[in-house]
Amino acid sequence: MDGPRQRILEATYACVARWGLAKTTVEDAAREAGLSRATVYRYFPGGRDELIDAVVSWQYVLFFVRLYEEVHGAASLEEVLERGLAFARRSLLEHEVLQKVLETEPELLMPKLTVESNRTVGLISAFLVPYLHAHPLAEGVEVHRAADFLSRMLLSYISSPGHWDLADPVQVATLVRTEMLAGIVAGARPAGP
């Protein structure tokens, strides 16, 4: 997607990185993009709110494209979860703009992320369903409920890993096999004491 709309999104992103969400204006985005305010309003008639929402959505989609590329070709459910969990946590920590906004203006970003959470759970669940169908599940486990549970667990650990070091492949594998898949996958080991 090239052209003025993409330039405006990229410019707005740069402004948010520089000044934060609250201080970024339509005028800032127009100036950064080298376009007039009228052009910005032509693409985003809802003004600043629509523009910020579009930037959040653009980054959201970009994250999931990269996540898909990271886990594509995984041979097993365990590998999908391990690759996805490590990539997502690393991406969250390395995303300079997200970290800045979370540090300085969480009250502005959190509602946007909360609104997206149901869509996020749905996307992750839908992606996991074929892997769950291909995997022997514990007796009584329903695929769609398991996918929903795993999606919510992934999101929880990505944002708050607790004592788990998600940069350590051994710890990620242990987390996936002993906590996330325990009770879902036939023969999975439950966590020890």
> What CATH code is carried by the domain that includes residue 9?
1.10.10.60
pLDDT tens column, 24-53: 999 999 999 999 999 999 999 999 999 988
Contact 120, 152 (CB under 8 A): no
Single pTM value for the model: 0.79
138 with 96, same domain? yes
Longest dimension (CA), the chain: 62
Q: Which long-range contacts (CB under 8 A, 24 or more apart) does 148-151 make?
A: 148/121, 149/184, 150/81, 150/124, 150/125, 150/180, 150/181, 150/184, 151/120, 151/121, 151/122, 151/124, 151/125
| Structural domain boundaries, residue 50 | 1-59
138 with 173, same domain? yes
Residue 190 has pLDDT above 60, yes or no: no
In a domain, 66, yes or no: no
Last residue of a domain, one of 59, 85, 109: 59
pLDDT bucket at 189, cuts 50 / 70 / 90: low
> What residues have CB less than 8 Å from 108, skipping those under 6 apart?
21, 22, 101
> What residues have CB less than 8 Å from 65, skipping those under 6 apart?
none
> What residues have CB less than 8 Å from 158, skipping those under 6 apart?
85, 88, 89, 92, 166
Report which DSSP code applies to 187: T
| Amino acid at site 178 | T
pLDDT tens column, 50-75: 998 899 889 888 888 998 999 988 98
129 with 152, same domain? yes
